């Protein structure tokens, strides 16, 4: 398995290491997932997300290629802007959700999920036919830290001459931070104020950047945080997790991602299927729900019932540390997708009451 350049730092901090996306990654540190969740919600936490993938698209047809391979309208991007999007098969199934960065008019960066790098790269290459572009997989060259939480701006501002306050959500600037050139991006997977730092360099560079961030954040209670709390944080905001809430068996409309699907932009992979789903509706929808049973967690693939009938299945579920109640998401038949619909989750031969609610769970 691969290790990121921050591996020894995780071990020295007492992290519990697990296999994730082909990497040895920290799932949690000694004080636990619940503690780390609150650190990000209240102070500032640092995630190592170097396992994510980065593809560079350069050349005069860069925009045309991105338009074909993604569902959002990348023509709306200007330099320094980021867009949440998805790649689909011609069948409409979601290959991956991703971020699209416009570096310049003829230079885009696609940031994909770590578990999907090889699959996504193969799909990108398969679609690179007739385009005047250079397509490069730089995933193994790029280090990526996500510094998230209400004190993240104050922490990182100490380390750069770039005025970070004007960087709005889903925007980025190239700059020097902790003495190294990087992309400073106001993005993240937690719903909190936060930044993602993309930079190249060897172990010495990684150690220096890590060390400087923790020195700068010491007064704000900064801590390293693992992938475990990343999942509870994203779920509280209703952010989809690839492999759970979305995959190649789902399209963007039934997954509630119609807002990133721009059917009027021209041709793109899966357009005909997606237009049909948008026009005629879908038989099922991804819905958020709150479980009205103490300490019960609706696990992935648990069956969902209503009025005595099986109507769907759970895709994500956990105990919300902020709300101190069980929350989740799942696909249900269209008639039970309305706000306030009463549903039941089956587990261990029992049915647990739940109710369809509105996102986000935590505002």
- Beta-sheet strands, E only, within the chain: 16-20, 23-28, 45-48, 53-58, 82-88, 94-104, 107-112, 134-137, 143-148, 172-177, 180-185, 194-199, 223-224, 284-291, 303-306, 309-320, 325-333, 342-347, 350-356
> Which pLDDT does position 287 carry in this prediction?
98
* pLDDT of 248 strictly over 90: yes
> Which pLDDT does position 294 carry in this prediction?
87
Percent of the chain at pLDDT > 70 equals: 100
* pLDDT of 173 strictly over 90: yes
pLDDT 10s digits, 267-305: 999 999 999 999 999 999 999 999 999 889 999 999 999
> Which pLDDT does position 182 carry in this prediction?
98
Domain over 53-137 is classified CATH 3.30.70.1400: yes
Structure tokens at 258: 């119609």
Structure tokens at 249: 């068996």
**pTM score of the predicted model:** 0.97
Percent of the chain at pLDDT > 90 equals: 99
Domain ranges in the chain are 7-50+141-235, 53-137, 283-363
Length, in residues, of the chain: 363
How far apart CA 197 and CA 52 sit, in angstroms, is 12
CATH for 7-50+141-235, among 3.40.50.1370, 3.80.30.20, 3.30.1360.120, 2.40.50.140? 3.30.1360.120
Q: What is the mean pLDDT of residues 172-195?
A: 98
Say if CB 133 and CB 110 are below 8 A apart: no
Structure tokens at 193: 């104020």
Domain over 283-363 is classified CATH 2.40.30.110: yes
Q: Which residues contact 311 (CB under 8 A, 6 or more apart)?
A: 304, 305, 332, 333, 336, 343
Gyration radius of the chain over CA positions: 21
Say if CB 305 and CB 361 are below 8 A apart: no
CA angle 230, 124, 300 (to 5 degrees): 35
pLDDT 10s digits, 219-246: 999 999 999 999 999 999 999 999 999 9
Of the pLDDT bands very low, low, confident and very high (cuts 50, 70, 90), residue 172 is: very high
How far apart CA 149 and CA 195 sit, in angstroms, is 9
Residue 300: name the closest of 247, 244, 341 by CA. 244
pLDDT 10s digits, 77-126: 999 999 999 999 999 999 999 999 999 999 999 999 999 999 999 999 99
> Which pLDDT does position 295 carry in this prediction?
82
Q: What is the mean pLDDT of residues 301-310?
A: 98
Of the pLDDT bands very low, low, confident and very high (cuts 50, 70, 90), residue 339 is: very high
Of the pLDDT bands very low, low, confident and very high (cuts 50, 70, 90), residue 17 is: very high
CA angle 6, 239, 226 (to 5 degrees): 25
Strand pairing report for 172-177 and 194-199? unpaired
Of the pLDDT bands very low, low, confident and very high (cuts 50, 70, 90), residue 4 is: very high
Mean per-residue pLDDT of the chain: 98
How far apart CA 314 and CA 336 sit, in angstroms, is 14
């Amino acid at each position: 398995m691969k290790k990121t350049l921050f591996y020894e730092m995780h071990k020295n901090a007492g992290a519990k290491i697990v296999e994730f996306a082909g990497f040895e990654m920290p799932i949690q540190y000694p004080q636990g997932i619940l503690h780390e969740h609150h650190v990000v919600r209240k102070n500032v936490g640092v995630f190592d997300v170097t396992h994510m993938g980065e593809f560079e698209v350069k050349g005069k047809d860069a925009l045309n290629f991105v338009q074909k391979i993604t569902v959002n309208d990348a023509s709306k991007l200007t330099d320094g802007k980021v867009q949440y999007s998805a790649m689909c098969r011609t069948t409409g199934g979601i290959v991956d959700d991703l971020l699209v960065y416009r570096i310049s008019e003829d230079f885009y960066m696609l940031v994909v999920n770590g578990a999907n790098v090889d699959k996504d790269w193969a799909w990108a290459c398969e679609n690179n036919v007739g385009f005047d572009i250079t397509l490069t997989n730089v995933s193994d060259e790029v280090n990526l830290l996500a510094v998230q939480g209400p004190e993240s701006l104050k922490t990182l501002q100490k380390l750069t001459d770039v005025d970070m306050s004007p960087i709005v959500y889903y925007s980025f600037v190239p700059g020097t931070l902790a003495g190294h050139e990087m992309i400073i991006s106001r993005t993240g997977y937690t719903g909190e104020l936060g930044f993602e730092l993309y930079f190249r360099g060897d172990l010495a560079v990684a150690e220096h950047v890590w060390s400087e961030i923790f020195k700068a954040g010491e007064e704000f209670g900064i801590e390293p945080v693992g992938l475990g709390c990343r999942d509870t944080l994203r779920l509280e905001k209703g952010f989809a997790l690839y492999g759970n809430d979305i995959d190649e068996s789902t399209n963007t409309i039934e997954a509630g991602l119609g807002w990133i699907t721009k059917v009027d932009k021209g041709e793109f992979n899966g357009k005909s299927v997606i237009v049909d789903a948008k026009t005629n509706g879908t038989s099922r929808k991804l819905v958020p729900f709150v479980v009205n049973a103490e300490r019960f967690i609706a696990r992935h693939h648990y069956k969902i019932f209503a009025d005595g009938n099986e109507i769907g299945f759970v895709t994500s579920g956990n105990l919300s540390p902020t709300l101190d109640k069980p929350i989740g998401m799942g696909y249900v038949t269209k008639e039970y997708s309305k706000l306030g619909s009463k549903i039941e989750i089956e587990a261990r031969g029992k049915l647990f009451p739940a109710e369809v609610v509105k996102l986000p769970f935590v505002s």
